[in-house]
Amino acid sequence: MLVRFWGTRGSLPVAAKANAVRNKIAAALVAASGRTFADEGAAREFLESELDFAAAHTYGGATSCVEVDVGQGPFIVCDMGSGLRELGLDSLRRCTQEGHAREWHFFLSHLHWDHIMGFPFFVPAFVPGSKIVIHSGHADAEEALRRQQEEISFPVPFDYLRAEIEFRTLEPGREYEIGAVTVSLIEQHHSHSSYGFRFRDAAGKVAIYSTDSEHKIDRMEGEADVVAFFADADLVVCDTMYSLADSVSMKEDWGHSSNIVAVDLCHEARARRLALFHHEPTYSDADIARMHHETIRYEELTRGAVALEVLCAYDGLCVEV
């Protein structure tokens, strides 16, 4: 199983501005300290080996879109944030070059704008012969997608799309065989509700997609259900938008969780890897890197018998599960 991150930012797409790129280049030149490089490959090797991630890269700014690739069956895609535009083009390339079936199955955490805004730019939806199945815990998913393509919001109406498009409402507590994966879902606390998804492939590998989920301070006993849903997962993609203090004070009821709670839930669930996800849009690359390092440290401080590897998702990351 491969998990590809096409969009990892929360709430609103963002992009690194000119001065951010300039500052990274300036810092890299200072770090190189007069060294010369034979070619760009040698320069890239220097960047990879001697600078930390945030100094030489960016976490990106596309909103939520994650692909679960089990090597067979239709494309499996979690959410339709702005990262979906690039996935659409790359998946069409794979259809053309690798003979992949022209079938996409989406799993929507919820219907808020940042999680569906990529669909009007999803090129396969415009291509005759494409088959698109949109799975959601929400019965009003079709209404949400049609509404964002009404003329007041977007020039191309939903009915203009040439793909065969089907909506399916899934229920928590059941297991579904979809393509080459077994899928189940859990309802989460978020405005208008959200759903987390658990994907298991034929080899038994498990990936969890759990974003836009607030673990309420006055319902901590209910977290046993979340722990059971995460149980023994190989990878948990988790909403870690805020610090714990923010999530229980000024940003309480904003529908998001913290890096600290994510680690505790994964520890309790005996999960193997956690991917920090749905990054706060006001965070710079340095802010996200700091949050990543602090989360690794918290995991070390609170670790029980089994270590949890803490990854930090970025646009373009591909994780082999």
Footprint of other proteins (CB under 8 A): 217-218, 220-221, 243-246, 248-249, 258-261, 263-264, 268, 294-295, 297-298, 301-302
In the complex with other proteins, the residue whose CB is nearer, 98 or 221, is 221
Say how far apart CA 214 and CA 239 lie, in whole Å.
Answer: 8
Say how far apart CA 304 and CA 243 lie, in whole Å.
Answer: 22
CB of 193 to other proteins, least distance (A): 22
In the complex with other proteins, the residue whose CB is nearer, 159 or 218, is 218
Say how far apart CA 309 and CA 321 lie, in whole Å.
Answer: 12
* 5-18 b/e (C-beta count within 10 Å ≥ 16 → b): bbbbbbbebbeeee
Nearest CA-CA partner of 243 in 294, 297, 170: 294
CB of 215 to other proteins, least distance (A): 8
Torsion of the alpha carbons at 93, 237, 122 and 318, rounded to the nearest 10: -20
In the complex with other proteins, the residue whose CB is nearer, 76 or 274, is 274
User: Which residues on neighbouring strands pair with residue 104, listed in sequence order?
Assistant: 75, 132
CB of 272 to other proteins, least distance (A): 19
In the complex with other proteins, the residue whose CB is nearer, 102 or 292, is 292
Scan for tokens 């658990």, then name that residue: 198
CB atoms within 10 A of CB 100: 17
In the complex with other proteins, the residue whose CB is nearer, 2 or 245, is 245
Q: Which residues contact 241 (CB under 8 A, 6 or more apart)?
A: 10, 11, 247, 256, 257, 258, 278, 279, 280
Scan for tokens 């498990």, then name that residue: 206
CB of 279 to other proteins, least distance (A): 16
In the complex with other proteins, the residue whose CB is nearer, 183 or 261, is 261
In the complex with other proteins, the residue whose CB is nearer, 16 or 248, is 248
CB of 265 to other proteins, least distance (A): 9
The amino acid occupying position 213 is S
Say how far apart CA 61 and CA 73 lie, in whole Å.
Answer: 29
CB of 158 to other proteins, least distance (A): 42
CB of 262 to other proteins, least distance (A): 9
